[in-house]
Chain A
């Protein structure tokens, strides 16, 4: 897929912008705080109708404006030319796809995939499990049919169960909600296992191309519980019920799942250097990109937020070698990339929320 035009109105610090993209590689260059990442975020918004940095809608709307608007014109492998228009208000947002309102996120997610490479990705290794679950959930919600519904169902039923546990867990309603949780939990665990096995292989392959070490880098699923049937999960809940009642919440289940980065068979969070960790998360993003493309037949837009600058020349060369030529890339940086003079980049200079094509 290709993004041919984006129009912005009152999005973060960008009052108004209308950019047309021709070549496959687009670079936004400027000092920090000028709006490069904001534009990248506006592009990424098309995937899941959410921003990649945390915060409420207020942060997305330019100071003094009532709402923010983003319009996209995309060339899509399966649906041809598509137009998406998003309006973000203080309370809620609206989106239309080719003039039709988007009513259910589940029907929309995954149509316009993007993959973000960010300097913050290293937190996927160093940070808490919640960040890794979020990565996995967003990835699967976009490319695994039924995943988002199972995820929402599981968490909703879990919330009810936790409330009942806080009230002592004695009533007849507890079992009813557990029976809603169980098939959803089994579905989540199976989908995550399958996806992590595939990603593990892809990460290993890409890591071999990006890093120069002889050690194997990969990722491995760490399910909190094993359950291959609803009955098995129900038995687990029954077994843990006493403790759950004592604590007042469900202690075990896919809401506690995790995955690990491994380098040479060891836990990369503890044993890998910063450079090794960066190579691993880079490999994970390439793996995600390939997985989305293979599952959906759509080439995601690649967003690279400030990552090219922190790679040494050798790694940068390998980054380019790993990126397929037909993928459209949007990158940001404070200085132009080394190969900018070769005419393959479309460059925009960014200053105080204003974009000028160089």
Chain B
């Protein structure tokens, strides 16, 4: 339409979940229909970009050193639930059936896409699992080939620490990730977790 509008569209439609049509609607909304909302959006983006960062302990989003969950004294510090990404953590929280801590791996092993152990947030997890207060590590990774292989790999990595390792996935659709499961399924997946060998 105009060079600047086209550049904006180009940026917007690369965002996850946005196709060309929704990018167009958002761009027109911000520039023409409700230009007054633009300022607050830019301000909110700028502020969030300046303050939101990964929790140094678990990888969840945080504003200080620690995220709200790690900082919450009422959470059960004996168990760590390992998830691939922050949306998986949010799905687990929404199920309301877990009161422990998390660890966000920031992905899963996928050599054909160039994702190896170095790309994963693993060192802080090994450190945490080695501490005395942690007794169980729950693997809540997707049950496709990459998720399962990552579980094998994690259990090898954790072999030196004195923790129980368990795996959810009971009832999860094959090939699916935690983020796609409804709260009821997640609750039973968590309750039905099995020792992982």
SS class, residues of chain A in contact with chain B: helix
Task: Point out the residue from B112, B117, B157, B174 that lies within 8 Å of A160, measured CB to CB.
Answer: B112
How many angstroms from the CA of A176 to the CA of B150 in the assembled complex? 7
Of B117, B153, B174, the most chain A CB neighbours within 10 A belong to B153
Nearest CB in chain A: distance from B177 CB, A: 15
Nearest CB in chain A: distance from B66 CB, A: 29
Q: Is A341 an interface residue (CB 8 A)?
A: no
Interface string of A140-171 (1 = CB under 8 A from B): 00000000010001001101110110010001
Nearest CB in chain B: distance from A158 CB, A: 10
Nearest A residue to B110, CB-CB: A160
How many angstroms from the CA of A171 to the CA of B153 in the assembled complex? 11
Q: In the assembled complex, which residues on chain A have CB atoms less than 8 Å from the CB atom of B145?
A: 153, 156-157, 160, 177, 180
A173 contacts B116, C-beta separation under 8 Å: yes
- Interface size on B, as a range, is 10 to 19
How many angstroms from the CA of A97 to the CA of B150 in the assembled complex? 36
Q: In the assembled complex, which residues on chain B have CB atoms less than 8 Å from the CB atom of A163?
A: 111-112
Of A156, A157, A161, A176, the most chain B CB neighbours within 10 A belong to A176
B112 contacts A176, C-beta separation under 8 Å: no
How many angstroms from the CA of A46 to the CA of B110 in the assembled complex? 34
Q: In the assembled complex, which residues on chain B have CB atoms less than 8 Å from the CB atom of A160?
A: 109-112, 145-146, 149
List residues of A whose CB falls within 8 A of some B CB.
Answer: 149, 153, 156-157, 159-161, 163-164, 167, 171-173, 175-177, 179-180
List residues of B whose CB falls within 8 A of some A CB.
Answer: 109-112, 116-117, 144-146, 148-150, 152-153, 156-157, 174
Q: Give me 15 other A-B pairs in contact (C-beta within 8 A), A171-B117, A173-B111, A175-B156 excluded.
A: A156-B144, A157-B149, A160-B145, A167-B111, A173-B109, A173-B149, A173-B153, A176-B149, A176-B150, A177-B109, A177-B111, A177-B149, A179-B149, A180-B148, A180-B149
5 contacts between A and B (CB under 8 A): A160-B146, A161-B111, A171-B117, A172-B157, A176-B152
